[in-house]
């Protein structure tokens, strides 16, 4: 089974990521993964909620949420950054 398409949430506007997710679902994806770290985590949650509650109300649900930390940087500049992965999938009819 292949990996679901991943959308990396960063500095762009929320609606850019919402559109990217909608395009993935329209092209036949059963699931997508929203990935974010640091300050972009709240934006990833916003994207998931907009898709789930406004645009694809009864068609999409949150299948899984994974959280963790990543070590970013090297040597003296190394620091831990929080990460999140939100798996959205089509509802089973």
Percent of the chain with pLDDT over 70: 98
Residue 1 has pLDDT above 70, yes or no: no
Q: What is the pLDDT of residue 57?
A: 84
- The Cα angle at residue 70 between residues 68 and 75, in degrees rounded to 5: 155
Where do the domains of the chain lie, and which CATH numbers do they carry?
6-90 (3.30.110.20)
Spatial distance between the Cα atoms of 47 and 41, rounded to a whole number of angstroms? 10
Residue 55 has pLDDT above 60, yes or no: yes
Averaged pLDDT for residues 59-83: 94
Residue 93 has pLDDT above 60, yes or no: no
Q: Where are the beta strands (DSSP E) in the chain?
A: 6-8, 31-37, 60-72, 79-90
Give the residue from 57, 16, 39 showing the smallest Cα distance to 88: 57
Q: What is the pTM of this model?
A: 0.89
Averaged pLDDT for residues 34-41: 95
């Amino acid at each position: 089974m292949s990996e679901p398409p991943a959308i990396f949430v960063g500095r762009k506007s929320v609606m850019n990521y919402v559109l990217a997710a909608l395009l993935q679902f329209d092209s036949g994806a059963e699931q997508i993964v929203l990935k974010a770290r640091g300050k972009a985590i709240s934006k990833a949650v916003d994207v998931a909620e907009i898709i789930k509650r406004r645009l694809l109300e009864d068609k999409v649900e949150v299948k899984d949420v994974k959280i963790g930390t990543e070590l970013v940087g090297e040597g003296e500049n190394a620091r831990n950054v929080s990460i999140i992965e939100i798996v959205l999938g089509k509802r089973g009819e």
